[in-house]
Amino acid sequence: MNELPDYGRFDIVLEEYLIANKVSKNQLAAKANLQRTQLNSYCKNNIKRPDLDVLARICHALGCDLTDIIRYTSPGNRNGDGDNG
């Protein structure tokens, strides 16, 4: 069976963003109309199929871009530092 090539991955780095910008999960959950358990899954990067509506609400509530809370990691860069180009 042929194995698929490794194209890299996307990581949700929402929790890092919240810490850096001193925003509490409770504040974001209320402002983005999210359940706390749902928000925790995004903060822990424990989402297999991200919901674009949820990501839009998070970005709107935080006044940020999607690239502020999601990081692309290329196949050759698996140490988690990310590589956006």
The count of C-alpha atoms lying within 13 angstroms of the C-alpha of 31, restricted to the half-sphere facing its C-beta, is 14
Instruction: Give 46-75 pLDDT, tens digit per residue.
Output: 998 999 999 999 999 999 999 999 999 999
Instruction: Give 2-47 pLDDT, tens digit per residue.
Output: 788 889 999 999 999 999 999 999 999 999 999 999 999 999 999 9
Does the pLDDT of residue 80 top 80, yes or no?
Answer: no
Please report which confidence band the pLDDT of residue 85 belongs to, taking 50, 70 and 90 as the band edges: very low
Question: What pLDDT is attached to residue 1?
Answer: 63
For residue 12, which phi and psi values (nearest 5 degrees)? -85, 120
Rounded distance, CA 12 to CA 47, Å?
Answer: 8
